[in-house]
Amino acid sequence: MVDWDERFSIEDYLFGAEPAQALVNLEHYLIPQGNTLVIADGEGRNSVYLASKGFKVTATDASTVASVKAKALAASRNVEVNYQVADFFDIDWSTQQYDNIVGIFFQFVPPDKIKHVLMNLRSATNKGGTLLIHGYTPQQIELATGGPKDLSLMYTKELFEDVFEPKEILVNKEYQMQLSEGSGHKGQSALIDFVAKC
Ligand SMILES: C[S@@+](CC[C@H](N)C(=O)[O-])C[C@H]1O[C@@H](n2cnc3c(N)ncnc32)[C@H](O)[C@@H]1O
């Protein structure tokens, strides 16, 4: 199991201080200025970016070290984000309701739980709201330029097609590109973008 507090205990931002390129590319699918939850937000690069674009942002992550760095990033950019340190699996998803939910590289959900987790995220997204997910596909194991070394934690188009109705899916695309996101995500990468209108 990854010790995220230890990984984040470096001076630099492990995945950089700028948002994931996929989030910038897909931002137009989000409800503008909506009430937005960023899950497994890490050191805040994505939550801070969204707050700077006028979204009302709540961000969660289990790492206290990441949360301290995220708060510092938000302060340095003069934006407000409601940061909550919480284990993803301890959150009562039935009480959550957001216009947008954003999950970038939250690749810690075991295969026997991922479909249930995706259903929870869908039900926590307001009707007409947006669920945006970005992460690695199985080809990333060979590329080894970031992410867990565990094939069972990768996302595929088929995984999302199994959970979401065709009419809900706006984007479900696997591709490869060069990433340069801190020292954590660097080099040719096998990626997937997924957007659903729930
Ligand atoms: C690869 S990092 C991605 C961080 C951020 N989304 C980004 O793209 O910069 C994975 C994140 O998942 C968080 N995480 C891992 N297991 C978690 C859990 N059970 N509950 C909440 N967060 C968790 C880690 O602390 C870490 O910040």
| Residue owning tokens 């060979």 | 142
Task: Give the pLDDT of residue 1.
Answer: 83
Domain ranges of the chain: 4-197
Residues 48-97 have pLDDT tens digits of 999 999 999 999 999 999 999 999 999 999 999 999 999 999 999 999 89
CA of 184 to the centre of ligand 1 (A): 12
Ligand 1: which atom is nearest the Cα of residue 44? 9
Kindly report whether the global pTM for this prediction surpasses the value 0.85: yes
Q: Please tell me the distance from the alpha carbon of residue 47 to that of residue 61, in angstroms, as a whole number.
A: 11
Which residue is it, tokens 């947006």?
A: 130
* Secondary structure of residue 144 in the 3-state scheme: coil
| Alpha-carbon span 60 to 131, nearest angstrom | 16
What sign results for the dihedral spanned by CA atoms 159, 164, 167, 173? negative
Name the residue of 49, 61, 149 whose CB sits within 8 Å of the most ligand 1 atoms, as the mutation to test its pocket. 61
* DSSP state at residue 146: S
Of 23, 21, 16, the closest CA to residue 39 belongs to 23
Q: Report the candidate in 73, 66, 75 with the shortest Cα–Cα distance to residue 2.
A: 66
Q: What is the mean pLDDT of the chain?
A: 97
- Superfamily grouping for domain 4-197: Vaccinia Virus protein VP39 (3.40.50.150)
Pairing of strands 185-197, 125-136: antiparallel
Question: 71 CA distance to ligand 1 centroid (A)?
Answer: 16
Q: Which residues line ligand 1 (CB under 6 A)?
A: 4, 15, 20, 40-42, 45-46, 61-63, 66, 87-89, 104-106, 108
Ligand 1 center to 16 CA (angstroms): 14
- Average pLDDT per run of 10 along the chain, which is 198 residues long? 96 98 98 98 98 98 98 98 98 94 98 98 97 98 97 98 98 97 96 97
